[in-house]
C-alpha cells in the first residue's frame, strides 16, 4: 500500500515542480550583453522604465567617428513617446561615459536627474559593419508645471545602433 501511495504522489510532485520553474506573466526578460552582441536584429533599444518593459527595433541614431558624439533615441511607434540619450567623446569600447538622457511625452518632458549616476557603457564599436553596442541606465525628472517633480527610473538598458 505504501508503494502505491508513493507511485501516486511522485508524478504530482514532478508536476508541481515543473509548474514552479515556468516563467509567469510579468516583465519580459531583458537580453544579456552577450545576446545583444549576437542578435540578428539590425537595431535594438530595450530597457525597463519604472519596471515597465520598453523595446524598439527601429531607432534613431547618430555616431560621429571623428568627434565621438553619440545620439540614440527610440520613439516606440509614436513621436509622443520618446526616450533617448546622447554622449560625447566616445572613441573606444569598454568605457563608461556620462549621458544626457531625455524622454518626452505629450504632457511632460523629462530631463536627466543630475543628482543620480546617469551612464552609458560602450561594449563594442564595429567600424566595419558600422554598429555600436552598449548599455545605459539613468534617472529622469520632470520640471513641467503639469508634472513637476515626477521621476522615471530607466534600468537594464541595451542598444544596438547603426551609424554612417
Delimit the domains of the chain by residue range. 40-105+118-137+155-162
Model confidence at 123: pLDDT above 90 = yes
- The average pLDDT across 39-45 equals 94
pLDDT at residue 160 greater than cutoff 80:
yes
Residue that is written with C-alpha cell 541606465 in the block = 137
Q: How does residue 25 score in pLDDT terms, banded at 50, 70 and 90? A: low
pTM: 0.77
Question: How buried is residue 32: exposed, middle or buried, by Cβ count under 10 Å (0-12/13-18/19+)?
Answer: exposed
Q: Which residues make Cβ contacts (< 8 Å) with residue 47, sequence separation at least 6? A: 30, 54, 83, 136, 154, 155, 156, 157, 158
Amino acid at each position: 500500500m505504501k508503494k502505491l501511495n508513493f507511485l501516486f504522489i511522485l508524478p504530482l510532485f514532478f508536476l508541481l515542480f515543473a509548474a514552479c520553474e515556468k516563467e509567469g506573466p510579468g516583465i519580459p526578460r531583458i537580453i544579456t550583453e552577450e545576446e545583444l552582441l549576437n542578435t540578428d536584429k539590425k537595431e535594438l533599444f530595450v530597457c525597463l522604465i519604472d519596471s515597465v518593459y520598453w523595446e524598439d527595433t527601429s531607432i534613431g541614431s547618430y555616431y560621429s567617428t571623428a568627434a565621438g558624439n553619440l545620439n540614440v533615441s527610440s520613439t516606440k511607434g509614436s513621436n509622443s513617446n520618446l526616450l533617448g540619450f546622447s554622449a560625447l567623446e566616445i572613441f573606444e569600447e569598454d568605457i563608461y561615459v556620462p549621458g544626457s538622457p531625455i524622454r518626452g511625452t505629450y504632457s511632460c518632458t523629462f530631463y536627466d536627474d543630475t543628482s543620480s549616476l546617469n551612464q552609458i557603457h560602450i561594449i563594442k564599436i564595429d567600424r566595419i559593419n558600422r554598429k555600436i553596442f552598449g548599455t545605459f541606465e539613468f534617472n529622469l525628472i520632470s520640471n513641467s508645471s503639469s508634472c513637476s517633480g515626477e521621476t522615471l527610473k530607466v534600468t537594464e538598458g541595451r542598444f544596438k545602433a547603426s551609424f554612417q
